[in-house]
Structure 1
């Protein structure tokens, strides 16, 4: 069974973590396959939006602790090379690829799984899903970008509580805190996320890419730097056929068609 499935339909690629018998927990085979699959869809000019999901009833239960325990036998230095080799590239790809990514979250979304979901641009979460940081419950701290994405999603004070106490939270709480785009009925998050991805794929994807870059770098800039970055990005977006055609369509009272260039 393939550890990660990639299905392309029109301009949307669906990437599925495919280890349902272990709640899509992450062993080395899965992590390598996911890293490589995301790199492929990021580079594929025919893909204009991406959906990330898990096979079966769960999104991702985080690191496979059995494999991790075996790895600790060789010492922590070797066991934790996975952070740089796998988790960081996966999160970086999700957060920075020049196209929108939507997470379809069912069941458990824990640890690195939560980090992956938060690295996506939008999330559709099942009403009965369970989310948690989990790291401190096994004596660890954040990885998979959670120290970066979680405070930005829920605020620093709540992020401290969620990480330090490792308390699970619900999709309703996630919605109230601003983590997810929508809450769906269980079993249909992939359908809802795919519809959202199709809507995004039909949009101005070149402008989306500029937006992702601006938002990713905004916390490292002061106001003047942010204004300058916006000016440069706006000039690049304004030079696209998408912008010119959309202005013409607006003036003609027509619906614009975006080509992503």
Structure 2
């Protein structure tokens, strides 16, 4: 079969920062408009969507960290570059836009790489959805996460929020946040399972990159299967779940990582995973 994978370590981002570790395994995306708390634009939405779609074919990147610059994660869609133009669009253009924003969430979910969101300060609107789409979330005590769509007269049903948020924090809590538009504090987010852990602001990125490195150096192919099954099993009954996982695990047992792990255990050594 033709190998259609290619390295993305040297990808030249136009609307956000992109930096990879020396071996290319850990990539860090930085939303870098700190003067406005890193809002998204039409262009950054589209480029992020296209990048996460391209990550399906990356030969080097095994884990992605996404953060914001200047002490905030992302304030959502830029008020004057997105919100104001939307008020003048007709229905077909509005639907094209809302489908594009949802495509970003789908692309993050479909990318095989685990995605770790490092969330400091403001995390609102579309930014909160990018964080929710990530597989793991680390925050700081000053993180404030808000699904504030109702604050601009819209439904809380945006970019998959009504499906994703209840699965992470529970139906009742999600209903309150999506209808009130209030901020979820860092303490609430940690207690409710939104955050995997909280760190001091200066320790946030190192912690996120350390987690990403651990995942990238682990049984990477197996991690991609775990992510796939976590996403697929939402709509399955118990029979389908068990059978799907039986097939997935049997596939992982064919990898050299599985044999390496056994050989290392037998030799009383730490396994060295290669991801295939």
Taking structure 1 as the reference length, the TM-score comes to 0.95
170-179 vs 21-30, which moves further = 21-30
C-alpha distance in structure 1 between counterparts of 2:201 and 2:26, whole Å:
22
Which of 227, 237, 241 lines up with 2:252 in the alignment?
237
Q: Equivalent of 2:262, from 222, 247, 250?
A: 247
Among 9, 16, 26, the alignment partner of 2:40 is 26
Counterpart CA distance in 2 for 1:212 and 1:17 is 24
- Are the equivalent residues in 2 in contact too, given 1:2–1:18 (CA < 8 A)? no
How far 1:212 sits from its partner (Å)?
0.8
Deviation at 1:127, TM superposition (A): 1.1
Q: How many angstroms does 1:17 deviate by?
A: 1.5
Deviating beyond 6 angstroms after TM superposition, the runs of 4 or more aligned structure 1 residues are none
Match of 1:193 among 204, 208, 219: 208
Q: Which residue of 1 aligns with 2:16?
A: 4
The question of whether the paired residues in 2 share the 8 Å contact of 1:126 and 1:189 is answered with yes
- Cross-structure match for 2:142: 128
Measure, in 1, the Cα distance between the counterparts of 2:51 and 2:32: 12
Show CA shifts across 1:232-260 (max 9, x none): 10011111111111111112211001111
- Partner of 2:201, secondary structure, is coil
Question: Offset of 1:74 from its aligned partner?
Answer: 2.4
Please give the residue correspondences for 1:172-251 in structure 2 after superposition, counting only pairs within 5 Å.
172-251=187-266
Instruction: Measure, in 2, the Cα distance between the counterparts of 1:158 and 1:13.
Output: 32
Distance in 1 separating the partners of 2:34 and 2:166: 30
2:83 — aligned with what? 68
* CA 1:196–1:149: 2 relative to 1, 3 Å: same
CA distance in 1, matches of 2:56, 2:93: 29
SS of the aligned residue for 1:56 comes to coil
The 3 A distance-change label for structure 1 pair 153 and 128 is same
Separation in 2, partners of 1:74, 1:96: 30
Structure 2 CA distance for aligned equivalents of residues 74 and 223 of structure 1? 45
CA contact (8 A) 1:131 1:170 kept: yes
The equivalences for 1:58-137 within 5 A come to 58-66=72-80, 67-85=82-100, 87-137=101-151
Contact conserved, 1:133 with 1:163, CA < 8 A, in 2?
yes
What number of residue pairs does the alignment pair up?
A: 260
Q: Secondary structure at the match of 1:233?
A: helix
| TM-score (norm: length of structure 2) | 0.90
Supply the distance in 2 between the matched residues of 1:76 and 1:24 (Cα, whole angstroms).
27
Quote how far apart the aligned CAs of 1:80 are.
Answer: 4.1
- The alpha-carbon deviation at position 178 of structure 1 amounts to 0.5
Contact 2:120 2:201 in 1 (8 A): yes
SS in 2 for 1:188: helix
- Which structure 2 residue ranges, 5 or more long, are not aligned? 1-12
